[in-house]
Amino acid sequence: MAGVARQHPAVANLIGEMRFAGKEVTLLAIDWDVDADGSDDAMIAIINSVQKYGNILMAGAVYDTGTKMDVMMEGDLSGSDYKSADGTVTGTVGAALVEDLINLGTVDGVDFTSGTVAVTVKTTLKWA
């Protein structure tokens, strides 16, 4: 059986950011501000909205009473040319996604227009 060749740096070198995936990623902290984790339909709507902007590589558990989730997206999603699904917002991926989540309206009793939706592009894996 062939051995596994490891390409990771020594732990002492892990002071700066290391990307073991070998590709650019974007970390998003998503806050839809209403409790949605009790509804499969609402959570599917959120995930579908996020996936419009790229592949989700990882998604954390929903937290803070069902109102937030952190995701790692494939690719560099910097820039300001992203358009919301309805075409009314052109800007950062965060701005476009905020509009998309608000425009979900009410899904399975979850009213996405009743809170303050926010999307933050994170620069590190330090979420706390």
Round to whole Å and give the CA distance between 57 and 73: 5
- Can you list the positions of beta strands (E) in the chain? 25-31, 56-59, 68-74, 82-83, 90-91, 106-107, 110-111, 118-122
Domains of the chain, with CATH numbers? Answer: 22-122 (3.30.70)
Token pair belonging to 99:
């509009």
pTM, to two decimals: 0.83
> What is the predicted pLDDT for the residue at 23?
80
Tell me the pLDDT of the chain (128 aa) as tens digits: 566 665 655 555 555 555 566 788 899 999 999 999 999 999 999 999 999 999 999 999 999 999 999 999 999 999 999 999 999 999 999 999 999 999 999 999 999 999 999 999 998 776 55
pLDDT at 116: 97
